[in-house]
Amino acid sequence: MGALARFGGVEGLLNGLIRDRVVVAEANRLGLGASEAEVRERIFKQYSDASGKFLYSDSSGKPDIKKYIENVAATKGDLAKYEHSISDLIAREKLEAFVTASVRVSEDEVREDYKRKNTVFDLTYVVVSVDKLAAKIQPTEADLKAYYEQHKTDYRYLVPQKKIRYLFIDQDKSGEKLEISEKELHDEYDTVKPEFKQAGVKVQQIVLKIARPDLDDAVRQKAEGLVAKARGQSGTVTEDAFADLAKGNSEDPATAKNGGRVNGLVKKDASKADDPFQKVLDLQPGDVTDPIKYKNAYYIMRRGDPVPKTFEAAKDELRVSLRNRRGYTVAQRIAQTAQDRLKETKDPQKVAQELAAEANMKPADMVRETPFVKPGDDVPNIGSSQQFEDAIAPLNNPNDVGERTGVKNGFAIPMLVEKRDPRIPDFDEVKDRVTKAVKDERAKAQLEDKAKELIAGAGTPGDLKAVAEKLGFETKTDPNYKLATPLGDSGSSILLDDPLYASKSGEVLQKPVFLNSNYLVLGVNKRTEADLAEFTKQRDSLMKAALDERKSQVFEDYLSATQRTMESNGKIKIYKDVLASMQDEEEPTAAPPRPRPRLPITR
């Protein structure tokens, strides 16, 4: 994943930066910007221990500005940018407090929301889908041809179609026979940079659980205090010192007793960008993360030393890496020979016979043929490939041979078999597409009537199964369904929630619910009301969570409106050419050769 991708790509990063500037501009307009005193107070609080003492003090107890600057430079980078970010944060908090000062939620609202979210429904339901109905519809040949005549222009091909026969050279097969010596493996290992020659890093953690939503601030403040204590004046902490903190504070019993030491090693995994452990890998040994909120807890992580991967442990990966790289080179060379010979002979079968042994392939596997394809099509065994499209674009006459081009798993050398100019295709060419269109059209017309027929035949939820089977549908069940959650593969919607919440036990809803192109027929076997005694216990935290959510929405709406006003007044200008260039740099076109893996050990 690219660096910008973590922010939702260039557009996501840009929107975030614009929103940050909108907040600061609006806060300043309203006189809510942060003062120097407020910034100073916030920084003092952030760099104080649990007793309130500033961490960077001299022997007399006065703040030691030099130590503070050195620590910020080591842990945050640029001092001015850091203090500016604190100022922006305070401005945002003051603006949000101002905008949301009058926001309220009533207890009745929160109680009703709790009831909706915690009422449990034991459901039997049927999905009346187009696919199910269409499968049973058998139009006649006359029906299909009549539909085709009425809609033939819908199937018009606007660009030429080409049928291509091509020679395929498999990169993996080409490399399988390559022998890699022990010395070559050692040489490869020696060239790998140390940072890519790691099995992983050791990590320690302190976990502080959030028992209830209303305790979030208190837990966060405790976590911030532990981070400040761990970092001390040096900004880093030893393994033993962190272990003492973990033993006395961490609420994860599995690791606390072992000084917060996490079993195993942490490795880079781009698919787990939200995992707190991944953030540790961006630190240096001895560094401690800021508190990281993840699910129902705050995590404090310390990065330990990296653990190197030995030659023996890395040998298999090295062999695969070398073989892939050399296999590409061999396949490229064979593909060039195949291209030259195909241009000479115009005979793919003959060239395949000549090169099969060298390519480590069977001749029959080397010669492939596409159906008639046009730009943008998903070509069998190749996919949607701009490179392949570019290679066949110049081919206009039968037996024209194109240049070798990289495709999935190897190379292709294309030869034109036949070209069809833009036209309305014959019925037989598009019969499958016409058949699907006719069946789908008829199924959609019957959809609601079939759902109503189901409802009419089922007096109770227990009757649904028999009626559904008679009509060719399958019944499904969910004994613990709650509103605002997905119902199987059907999704969730207020269109489903409102009628279901109004239903009673033993009832089949008398109106089918149309959701995501299907109709749902719902039977409520049992309805279990929410436990209001539990609501009473959680009242304060639920009220706070509801108020926070509404304030957040009100503030977000306010910022959106402010941004639109600023845009219409010309106060926000986006340089689209710069944005486009950033997108081009972020998403380069993949080159055909596989990249040389620098030992995929810690990635």
pLDDT, residue 576, reads: 67
Beta strands in 315-408 (DSSP E): 367-369, 405-407
Say if residue 277 is in the same domain as residue 364.
no
Strands (DSSP E) found in 108-171: 120-128, 161-170
Where among 396, 420, 444 does a domain terminate?
420
Strands 518-528 and 507-508: antiparallel
pLDDT, residue 578, reads: 60
pLDDT at 482: 94
Phi then psi for residue 79, to 5 deg, are -65, -45
* pLDDT for the residue 580: 62
pLDDT at 483 over 90: yes
Do 255 and 205 meet the contact criterion of CB atoms below 8 Å apart? yes
Q: Which helix (H) or strand (E) holds 208?
A: strand 198-209
- 421-454 pLDDT, tens digit per residue, is 999 999 999 999 999 999 999 999 999 999 999 9
Instruction: Considering only CA atoms, give the Rg of the chain.
Output: 33
Do 500 and 467 share a structural domain? yes
Q: Which tens digits make up the pLDDT trace of 372-407?
A: 999 999 999 999 999 999 999 999 999 999 999 999
Instruction: Give the residue with greater pLDDT, 602 vs 73.
Output: 73
Tell whether 459 and 406 lie within a shared domain: no
Regarding whether 238 and 280 lie in a shared domain, the answer is: yes
Tokens of 485: 């959650």
- DSSP states along 502-549: T--TTEE-SSPEEETTEEEEEEEEEEE---HHHHHHHHHHHHHHHHHH
- Asked if residue 348 and residue 274 are part of one domain, the reply reads no
Domain at 398, CATH number: 3.10.50.40
- In the predicted structure, residue 229 carries a pLDDT above the cut 70: yes
* pLDDT over threshold 50, residue 590: no
586 pLDDT exceeds 50?
Answer: no
Confidence of residue 235 (pLDDT cuts 50, 70, 90): confident
Amino acid 63: pLDDT = 84
Residue 7 corresponds to which tokens in the numbers above?
């922010």
Strand, helix or coil at 289? Answer: coil
Res 310: pLDDT: 74
Per-residue pLDDT tens over the stretch 113-142: 999 999 999 999 999 999 999 999 999 999
Domain count, the chain: 3
Residue 208 pLDDT > 80: yes
Is residue 12 predicted with pLDDT exceeding 70?
Answer: no
pLDDT per position as a tens digit, 303-342: 998 888 777 776 777 777 777 777 788 899 999 999 999 9
Q: What is the pLDDT of residue 260?
A: 94
Q: Which residue did the predictor score with more confidence, 152 or 326?
A: 152
> Does a structural domain hold residue 143?
yes
Amino acid in position 324? N
Residue that terminates a domain, selected from 258, 282, 308: 308
Q: How many Å apart are CA 315 and CA 437, to the nearest integer?
A: 55
User: What was the pLDDT predicted at 473?
Assistant: 92
Pair (175, 324) in one structural domain: yes
Looking at the structure, tell me whether residues 480 and 500 fall in a common domain: yes
Instruction: Give Cα 244 to chain centroid, integer Å.
Output: 37
Q: What is the mean pLDDT of the chain?
A: 87
Neighbours of 580 (CB within 10 A): 11
176 in the same domain as 140: no
**Would you say residue 596 has pLDDT above 60?**
no
Contact between residue 123 and residue 481 where contact means Cβ atoms under 8 Å apart: yes
What confidence score (pLDDT) does residue 1 get?
A: 41
517 is a domain residue: yes
Both 228 and 259 in a single domain?
yes
| C-alpha to C-alpha distance for 81 and 58, rounded to whole angstroms | 25
- The per-residue pLDDT for range 26-73, each reduced to its tens digit, is 999 999 999 999 999 998 888 887 777 888 888 787 888 888 888 888
pLDDT at 599: 36
Q: pLDDT by residue (tens digit) across 456-479?
A: 999 999 999 999 999 989 999 999
Q: What range does the domain containing 248 cover?
A: 198-308
Phi/psi at 139 (5° precision): -70, 150
CB 347 within 8 A of CB 217: no
| Residue 406: φ, ψ to 5° | -70, 130
Contact (Cβ atoms closer than 8 angstroms) between residue 416 and residue 398: yes
Please check whether residue 467 lies inside any domain of the structure.
yes
> Are 164 and 144 contained in the same domain?
no
Examine residue 368 and state whether it is found in any structural domain, yes or no: yes
The pLDDT score that the predictor gives to residue 372 is: 94
Domain of 489: which CATH number?
Answer: 3.10.50
Residue 579 counted as domain residue? no
Instruction: Give dist(CA 221, CA 44) in Å, integer.
Output: 14
Closest CA to 522 of 536, 535, 512, 532: 512
Asked if residue 209 belongs to a domain, the reply is yes
Q: Is 505 domain-assigned?
A: yes
Residues 401 and 460 reside in one and the same domain: no
Residues 212, 301 within the same domain: yes
Average pLDDT, integer, range 554-571: 93
Residue 572 lies in a domain: no
Which of 352, 385, 420 is the endpoint of a domain?
420
Query: Residue 581's pLDDT band (boundaries 50, 70, 90)?
Result: low
Give exposure, 440-474, as e/b (b: 16+ Cβ within 10 Å).
eebbeebbeebbbbbbeebeebeebbebbeebebe
- Tokens for 207? 């976990």
- Give the model's pLDDT for residue 9: 56
* pLDDT of res. 398: 97
Looking at residue 591, its pLDDT comes to 38
Residue with tokens 């630190």: 283
Assign 416 a pLDDT band (cuts: 50, 70, 90). very high
Residue pLDDT, tens place only, 261-314: 998 888 877 677 778 888 888 888 999 999 999 888 999 999 998 888 777 776
Distance CA 328, CA 434 (A): 43
Number of Cα atoms under 13 Å in the Cβ half of residue 405:
17
The reported pLDDT for the residue numbered 182 is: 77
For the chain, the residue count is: 603
